[in-house]
Chains A and B, each alone.
Chain A
Amino acid sequence: MVSGSSHLSVKIAGVEFSNPVLVASGTFGYGEEYESLFDLSKLGGIVTKSITLEPREGHPPPRTFETSCGMLNAIGLANVGVERFIKEKLPFLKSLKTRIIVNVAGSTVSEYEEVVKRLNRSKGIDMLEINISCPNVKEGGIAFGSKVKSAYECIKAVRKNSSYPIIAKLSPNVTDIVEVAHAVKKAGADAISLINTLVGMAVDVERRRPLLANITGGLSGPAIKPVALAMVWKVAKAVKVPVIGLGGIMNTEDALEFILAGASMIQVGTANFVDPQTSIKIVDGLSEYCKKKGIRKITDLVGKLKAD
């Protein structure tokens, strides 16, 4: 359930959102973790942690490390698995007056298909986001998203099996993200979200050891915003598909940068850790910006970067 349209409402792939602000997968758990901190119904939508077929315990610690204006993580897709997600986590999400996007991950194409099939039978889901870009697992994730052919095949298989509109979440760890975006569009993706984290690492020089047990991890936070913004701009310009921008968004101005660069919606990720209310502060900030500038609808701003 989402309340009526306003100057912030956005419609992508036939799904109407009360505002363009989503919280990013992996940074907002299953929603319930933030319940006591603000009214979750104010969000445009919640993207869940990645869900796999079986429960996953994730990588050994340390799984996170703070870097300059950012952080590294190698969680390893720790999650409760699709069955427990449906039984234990979805009822709470369903009760919220906001859109629910379930993020799906797998080690093989058939695992993605199987998770999607099980989710098809559940009510209360508005969209799926397909994670073909996790940099921290050996199989699946980025293994699909970093090659044009496998990204196409994975999204095509999911599209065939999903009763929901699907968002393909792309990795920045590629030579040409536009090529991958074209491929997933051709495979039937209804929208594209980008970017997932950038592969990075940090070293403890005293112990001469990596600071993450997984050695490398995914870099997120304000440090990656310029990279994300450039990729959103390139993809939005080249591919006719709604783009959801994310990567280091910390405030309203950051969100507006992504919207002007071509993002129809945005996701707040690492900023949830810094200030859990970042996303709803951005909702209010976008509303104020529209009023101040006399903008009737936020969608009028999408891609309005004057780059000529």
Chain B
Amino acid sequence: MISQFTSSVVSNQKLGEKIFKLTLSSPYISKRAKPGNFVHIKVGSTYSPLLRRAFSVHNVDKQKGSFEVLLKVVGRGTGILSEKSPGDILDLLGPIGKGFSLPQEGKTVMLVAGGMGIAPLWFLLNNLIGKTDKEKLLFFSGAKTEKELLYCENLKDLGANLMVTTDDGSFGTKGLITDLFLKEIKGRKNDSSKLMVYSCGPPEMLKRMSEISKGYDLSCQISLEGNMACGVGACWGCPVKLENGWYKRVCVDGPVFDAREVVLE
């Protein structure tokens, strides 16, 4: 159930180029949020920026009653949030949306993250560790440059099979993460029914993931972004087109969709 509440900033940590991790105090979210859910944060008290900003729940700490969001400064709203200090109070709506469905037992699980798309997948991964056989857990992480690549060390420590690309080749394989993923899929002829894929990243990457999923009939859950106004399903401002020609709302019908069900442009 979506609730509105205030939450204080516990910490604000710079993780990379223009990338910040905000830890927020909220026993409510830490208990209720599922991987793939998001929160809708009011940036300030002035009218510019006006609308809330949506962020995936990046991780929760049930003991401490806190959760994290990952943000990259792309405009004024994220700029203001990146300057928050411990003790600052934020107005939030959450948890919102249909999250990821966890994989059935025995499936090989692939997580494919592009840039900031790692935000919800990190929370998902933390839920999978211990439940999924490490040999059957693959993490694909892509970014533009090494500076925007997050958690490589942590991912190795967690024991996930890690595959990395950067657009400029500054770390890992040079190229797109979707190409590396496709290569892996092609190498696993005829076992698409044994796979469960999860992905999040920029629009063009998710479009490619959707094409690959349709081409190989992969079970793939993608977490989408949309220009959201209300964030609670009322305004229909954040639609995603479906194969049947109609639309669903990214905010409450998603943000997680079957990659084979949606038409991304």
Chain A interfacial positions (CB closer than 8 Å to B): 26-29, 33-34, 36-38, 49, 57-58, 60-66, 68-71, 73, 75, 78, 221-223, 250, 270, 272-277
Partner among A65, A68, A273, A277 whose Cβ is within 8 Å of the Cβ of B235: A273
Closest A residue, CB atoms, query B251: A33
Is A58 a contact partner of B247 (Cβ separation < 8 A)?
yes
| Chain A contact residues: helix, strand, loop or mixed | loop
Partner among A34, A68, A75, A274 whose Cβ is within 8 Å of the Cβ of B232: A34
Instruction: Mark each residue of chain B from 81 to 96: 1 if its CB lies under 8 Å from any CB of chain A, else 0.
Output: 0000000000101000
Chain B contact-residue range equals 20 to 34
Chain A residues with CB under 8 A of B240: 61
Instruction: Mark each residue of chain B from 226 to 258: 1 if its CB lies under 8 Å from any CB of chain A, else 0.
Output: 111111111111111100011100001000000
**A78 and B239 in contact (CB under 8 A), knowing A37-B4, A275-B42, A276-B93?**
yes
Is A61 a contact partner of B239 (Cβ separation < 8 A)?
yes
**A73 and B47 in contact (CB under 8 A), knowing A36-B2, A61-B227?**
no
Partner among B233, B234, B265 whose Cβ is within 8 Å of the Cβ of A27: B234
Is B235 a contact partner of A27 (Cβ separation < 8 A)?
yes
B190 within 8 A of A: no
> What's the A-B contact tally at a CB cutoff of 8 Å?
105
Is A58 a contact partner of B236 (Cβ separation < 8 A)?
yes
B1 within 8 A of A: yes
Nearest-Cβ distance from residue A226 to partner chain B, whole angstroms: 13
Is B227 a contact partner of A65 (Cβ separation < 8 A)?
yes
| Chain B contact residues: helix, strand, loop or mixed | loop
Chain B residues with CB under 8 A of A65: 227
A272 to B230, CA, bound (A): 7
B27 within 8 A of A: no
Instruction: Mark each residue of chain B from 186 to 218: 1 if its CB lies under 8 Å from any CB of chain A, else 0.
Output: 000000000000000000000000000000000
Nearest-Cβ distance from residue A75 to partner chain B, whole angstroms: 5
Is A250 a contact partner of B238 (Cβ separation < 8 A)?
no
**A63 and B246 in contact (CB under 8 A), knowing A36-B3, A69-B50, A250-B47?**
no
A177 to B226, CA, bound (A): 35
A60 to B226, CA, bound (A): 12
A234 to B205, CA, bound (A): 52
A285 to B203, CA, bound (A): 43
Is A221 a contact partner of B50 (Cβ separation < 8 A)?
yes
Is B51 a contact partner of A71 (Cβ separation < 8 A)?
yes
Partner among B42, B91, B232, B265 whose Cβ is within 8 Å of the Cβ of A33: B232
A36 to B227, CA, bound (A): 23
**A222 and B238 in contact (CB under 8 A), knowing A57-B245, A61-B227, A63-B227?**
no
The 24 listed contacts between A and B (C-beta, < 8 Å) are A29-B233, A29-B234, A29-B236, A33-B233, A33-B252, A36-B2, A37-B2, A58-B236, A58-B239, A61-B239, A61-B240, A63-B236, A65-B227, A66-B49, A71-B51, A71-B229, A75-B237, A223-B47, A272-B230, A273-B52, A274-B42, A275-B42, A276-B4, A276-B230
